[in-house]
Chains A and B, each alone.
Chain A
Amino acid sequence: MPRTQELHLNMGPQHPSTHGVYRCVLTLDGETVTSAENHIGYLHRGIEKIAESKTYPQFLPYTDRMDYLCPMVYNQGYVETIEIMMGVEVPVRAEYIRVIMAELSRITSHLVMVATMAIDLSSSTGWMYCLREREKILDLIEMVCGSRLTVSYMRIGGVSEDLPDEFIPGLRKFIGELPAYLDEVHELLTGNEIFQARTKGIGILPPDMAIAYGVTGPNLRASGVAYDVRRAQPYSVYDHFNFEIPVRFNGDSLDRYLLRFDEIEQSLRIIEQALDGLPEGEIKGKVPKLIKVQPGEVYHQVESSKGAVGFFVVSDGSNKPYRLHIRGPSFVNIGVFPELARGWKIQDIISILASIDPVLGEIDR
């Protein structure tokens, strides 16, 4: 087969399909990618080092800024880690509110994934419809904590505010309407022939490769491995609810995309059950004014919209962490991208990257 001259192409850091400041150096043979190299770190803020000079409550706002598309889950993971170390009892009402907010965050994040994937494959319709729905959730989140993205809503021992009166009717109305809107997205986008051609059978991630590279979250489940921290290592009150862990088996871009819809469906189920069972009571447990953590260490995991988030906190007994490490699932997920990209055409790379759904805030930390 005739070969063309090898060409290096920088995709990013200022490229709309990289979802932030991520650069990928592609080596091309004609239009085929022979190798890809990740260049990350453009957004590195040294959050783990900052943590060592902040008290435990002061660090909470930094957790929002890791995965800014799914901030509630990061809030939850962080406060739970500290609660485990301190042995704090969290009131059941607070746990239920946390689950509702975390699942809402997960839905917004998945909607953004679908929206960005649509616009990367040049369908602005998909983008508009998904962001319109996301806007409604952000309004609900704003109603509760006054902020849309950088929520800082949870506290060690509970949450900062109780749900306002208009929240529950608003949320019930929203979860009643969302499935019909999602069907609309399926009609306008998923069924589109061009969209199918650009995603079906593209960027296949075999399950053994996904596990070897530590891929977690929807990307792993789209390859047929049913690993979800909410089920495998249950935290908070997730064991109170009936929900399924959706799995798909082709491991291609289309399955990774469709799996997000399956997950939104399950999140709605969880929210409905949590609203029905929402108990009365306190929203904050008994926590000392000055938060000190006894010496020790804990590695705690939660499931965000991108995969398994890990918090590793080492305490020396003072009011600041001695060492705090965060496992950002996107950081590990993007590690498989060079393997996944090899052998595909440039336009497929866009679809593969969009289907992995990396968020640079948590990659670079």
Chain B
Amino acid sequence: MGNNSMAPGLISKISSRYFSMTILNDQHTTKVQVEENDLIYLMEELKNDPDLHFDLLLDITAVDYLDHYIVVYNLFSLKHGHKIMVKCRIEHENPSLITVSDLYPAAEVLECEVYDLMGIEFVSHPNLHRILLPDDFEGFPLRKDYKS
């Protein structure tokens, strides 16, 4: 396995500015978790700070933990060659989160997928719709309480 984790100094540089941020690094990945209010500011900084420069949004997905959801973003920096996993915890009742598609156009299709299968609304997304399932499909199949 290649080492693509971030320099430790870089993480503490950003973490001091986000009150809700916790660092969850393991031996494989640099991982951070923030509250939903901080997410968009953190993503903006991750993208625009020249030392971080996460220009490639690879993936967005979500996990249902029964009492809450975790939305997971995977970012990569083509310039520095480091990667980071950003997690955001959201409530289980009427889950919604701000879109990052203004920062990363790649998020448009990825957020549609999360909405389609997990039922998380992305606020101010330009065109949130069922992307894989039929428009009249009921329910969100990747939720743990989904009954087929």
Chain B residues within 8 Å of A296, by CB: 26
Known: A41-B133, A234-B2. A312 touches B72 (CB 8 A): yes
**Cβ-based interface call for A331 (8 A):** yes
**Cβ-based interface call for B96 (8 A):** no
Q: Which of A67-75, A117-125, A209-217 contacts B (4 or more CB under 8 A)?
A: A209-217
The answer to whether A365 touches B28 (Cβ under 8 A) is no
**Cβ-based interface call for B32 (8 A):** no
**Cβ-based interface call for B105 (8 A):** yes
Task: Return A317 CB to nearest CB of chain B, in Å.
Answer: 14
CB-nearest residue of chain B relative to A308?
B58
**Cβ-based interface call for B108 (8 A):** yes
Chain B residues within 8 Å of A24, by CB: none
**Cβ-based interface call for B61 (8 A):** yes
The answer to whether A327 touches B58 (Cβ under 8 A) is yes
The answer to whether B2 touches A233 (Cβ under 8 A) is yes
Chain B residues within 8 Å of A195, by CB: none
Interface centre among B83, B105, B109, B117 (most CB of A within 10 A): B109
The answer to whether A327 touches B59 (Cβ under 8 A) is yes
The answer to whether B57 touches A214 (Cβ under 8 A) is yes
A323 to B63, CA, bound (A): 7
**Cβ-based interface call for A84 (8 A):** yes
The answer to whether B109 touches A299 (Cβ under 8 A) is no
Known: A48-B117, A233-B2. A211 touches B55 (CB 8 A): yes
Residues facing A in B117-148 (CB within 8 A) are 117, 130-134, 141-142, 146
The answer to whether B109 touches A331 (Cβ under 8 A) is yes
Residues facing B in A66-123 (CB within 8 A) are 84
**Cβ-based interface call for A157 (8 A):** no
Chain B residues within 8 Å of A40, by CB: 131-132
A312 to B133, CA, bound (A): 21
Chain A residues within 8 Å of B72, by CB: 299, 312
Chain B residues within 8 Å of A299, by CB: 29, 59, 72, 74, 85
Mark interface residues in B75-108 (1 if CB within 8 Å of A CB, else 0).
0101001010100000000000000000011101
Chain A residues within 8 Å of B104, by CB: 212, 214
The answer to whether A233 touches B134 (Cβ under 8 A) is no
Chain A residues within 8 Å of B133, by CB: 41, 44
A157 to B28, CA, bound (A): 19
**Cβ-based interface call for A225 (8 A):** yes
A258 to B56, CA, bound (A): 24
Chain B's interface size range is: 35 or more
A41 to B135, CA, bound (A): 11
Chain A residues within 8 Å of B10, by CB: none
The answer to whether A310 touches B63 (Cβ under 8 A) is no
Known: A40-B131, A227-B56, A312-B59. A214 touches B106 (CB 8 A): yes
The answer to whether A84 touches B1 (Cβ under 8 A) is yes
CB-nearest residue of chain A relative to B141?
A49
The answer to whether A310 touches B58 (Cβ under 8 A) is yes
CB-nearest residue of chain A relative to B109?
A335
**Cβ-based interface call for B64 (8 A):** yes
Chain B residues within 8 Å of A212, by CB: 104-106
Residues facing B in A17-42 (CB within 8 A) are 40-41
CB-nearest residue of chain A relative to B114?
A325
The answer to whether A232 touches B81 (Cβ under 8 A) is yes
A364 to B133, CA, bound (A): 9
Task: Return B109 CB to nearest CB of chain A, in Å.
Answer: 4
The one of B63, B106, B113 in contact with A213, judged by C-beta atoms closer than 8 angstroms, is B106
The one of B57, B78, B108, B141 in contact with A225, judged by C-beta atoms closer than 8 angstroms, is B78
Known: A212-B104, A331-B109, A332-B109. A323 touches B64 (CB 8 A): yes
A44 to B130, CA, bound (A): 12
**Cβ-based interface call for A46 (8 A):** yes
Can you identify 19 A-B contacts, CB atoms within 8 angstroms? A40-B132, A41-B131, A41-B133, A46-B141, A211-B55, A211-B78, A212-B105, A214-B104, A216-B58, A232-B2, A308-B58, A312-B59, A312-B72, A323-B63, A323-B64, A323-B142, A325-B59, A327-B59, A332-B109
Q: Tell me the B residues contacting A by CB distance below 8 Å.
A: 1-2, 4, 26, 28-29, 55-59, 61, 63-64, 72, 74, 76, 78, 81, 83, 85, 104-106, 108-110, 113, 117, 130-134, 141-142, 146
